[in-house]
Chain A
């Protein structure tokens, strides 16, 4: 069985409220703003989904608050598209990971394919029969010019549990680099670690 992720754009304000139980204020371009994007649909499996929390880290330049929610949604789509295709979705045992990088540029797809043991579950796909998402977080550092996002570093942290012959807790975390293309936001680079226990 596989559990997917759904997503919510979570502001620092919300995090503070949740974690501290008190109100807080936000302000300045380096600060996140209020929630804006609705959570995406649960995973196709119908299993309880882990919600991807998308937050903003450093916003360099000016990015209107109303734009942030849309950006969080768009980048979240790309990141979730990768984590679903590469790790969480599919019928395990699984051997085909050739379509694991749907939101990547062609060159980045080639790079990721060379690194497929890390950039997908290619290394363990044949020895497991399911993946259960445990945690999914994305934090965005944004370069904004003339009130538009032109470059994003997405800090990704994904955790999942595998079942089958290989029962492991796997953590994937690192950075994805994205720019906006005529096909929308695309990952052109990455720096990712993958570990298991």
Chain B
């Protein structure tokens, strides 16, 4: 993820996959989740004042197909730059199962050295610069073995604002870390509350994380969990989802129809936090032309993809 946030949706071109022929669309998952919590209307249907002996609950959302895959990308675009033509620094392939309420995120280190369709080998985050969202989606899809249905791109300025608007998020931080530039005071270990800037910094810092890019990717997943939990907790508020979708449309470029966004937002809100699984594709550290790169474990990436493809659930990392 990167500073300043304006997602973009670019229609698919070429013939990579049926899904891409249908649509490669850029939205911002995190942004949508966060924007969805901007406004908290107050009215509600009055509940009955009967003494219920037994109350049961049922919920379900129909999304075809049941499992939808979204590549959430945090661009490092600086002010004035086109974020769809910069580097994608946060890469999370997110699957959501509308039938079961399960969701998963497969994190890909940004320095992963991979084949970028049409552009030879390079760091995977350069795919956005070289080929835009579609090529980045293909590069990640080829690594994991799952082509995303949608590609969401954000910039951090907007991301920060929305985290702030939803009142921040809570994350479980496994280890204290800091950064002399982004957060000298650092993040303490344990359950911590993050505001807008804090969530951005928490997602970006790798300064003294033991496993660098891998740990940072895991931290991005902790932020995604925090956002989803917050959105789910507030989704019952009348007008909440509707306001969120409209805010996304007002702030982001997207070729998703408003109705599609509405349906997708309802799916996000119905993800069960207890059914979220996350893993980061591991690998070794290498050197290419003097640059430090990650040599990703393709076998692990494919195993994770195969495991989660049909149900958005990973058995183990």
Q: Which residues of the other chain, A, contact B191 by a CB distance below 8 angstroms?
A: none
Given contacts A58-B238, A60-B243, A180-B259, contact A191 B57 (CB under 8 A): yes
List A68-115 residues whose CB lies under 8 Å from chain B: 104-108, 110-112, 114-115
Interface residue A128 (Cβ < 8 Å from any Cβ of B)? no
CA of A174 to CA of B236, assembled, Å: 10
Interface residue B245 (Cβ < 8 Å from any Cβ of A)? yes
CB A126 to nearest CB in B, in angstroms, measures 18
Which of B45, B51, B53, B57 has its CB near the most chain A CB atoms (within 10 A)?
B45
Q: Could you tell me if B246 and A159 are in contact, using CB atoms closer than 8 angstroms?
A: no
Contact for A153 among B53, B59, B242, CB less than 8 A: B242
CA of A175 to CA of B45, assembled, Å: 10
CA of A60 to CA of B61, assembled, Å: 21
Q: Could you tell me if B50 and A171 are in contact, using CB atoms closer than 8 angstroms?
A: yes
Given contacts A57-B239, A157-B46, contact A151 B62 (CB under 8 A): no
Q: Which residues of the other chain, A, contact B238 by a CB distance below 8 angstroms?
A: 57-58, 139, 141, 153, 155
Identify the stretch in B80-88, B153-161, B262-270 within 8 Å (CB) of chain A at 4 or more residues: B262-270
Which of A30, A60, A173, A197 has its CB near the most chain B CB atoms (within 10 A)?
A60
Q: Could you tell me if B60 and A108 are in contact, using CB atoms closer than 8 angstroms?
A: yes
Interface residue A16 (Cβ < 8 Å from any Cβ of B)? no
Q: Could you tell me if B46 and A57 are in contact, using CB atoms closer than 8 angstroms?
A: no
Q: Which residues of the other chain, B, contact A155 by a CB distance below 8 angstroms?
A: 44-45, 238
Q: Which residues of the other chain, B, contact A196 by a CB distance below 8 angstroms?
A: 52-54
Q: Which residues of the other chain, A, contact B241 by a CB distance below 8 angstroms?
A: 141, 143, 151, 153
Residue total for A at the interface (Cβ-Cβ under 8 A): 50
Which of B54, B64, B266 has its CB near the most chain A CB atoms (within 10 A)?
B266
Interface residue B47 (Cβ < 8 Å from any Cβ of A)? yes
CB B54 to nearest CB in A, in angstroms, measures 6
Q: Which residues of the other chain, A, contact B193 by a CB distance below 8 angstroms?
A: none
Q: Which residues of the other chain, A, contact B243 by a CB distance below 8 angstroms?
A: 58, 60
Which of A58, A142, A179 has its CB near the most chain B CB atoms (within 10 A)?
A58
CB A59 to nearest CB in B, in angstroms, measures 8
Q: List 19 A-B contacts (CB under 8 A).
A: A57-B43, A60-B243, A111-B61, A112-B58, A114-B60, A118-B57, A139-B45, A141-B239, A142-B242, A150-B257, A151-B241, A151-B262, A156-B45, A179-B259, A189-B62, A191-B58, A194-B58, A196-B52, A197-B53
Besides A143-B242, A155-B44, A179-B263, 5 more A-B contacts (Cβ < 8 Å) are A111-B99, A119-B58, A137-B45, A139-B43, A189-B60
Binding site for B on A (CB under 8 A): 30, 57-58, 60-61, 104-108, 110-112, 114-115, 117-119, 135, 137, 139, 141-143, 145, 150-151, 153, 155-157, 159, 169, 171, 173-175, 177, 179-180, 188-197
* Top-8 shortest CB links A-B: A58-B239, A107-B62, A111-B60, A151-B262, A189-B61, A115-B58, A195-B52, A195-B55
Binding site for A on B (CB under 8 A): 41, 43-48, 50-64, 66, 99, 236, 238-239, 241-243, 245-246, 249, 257-259, 262-263, 266-267, 270
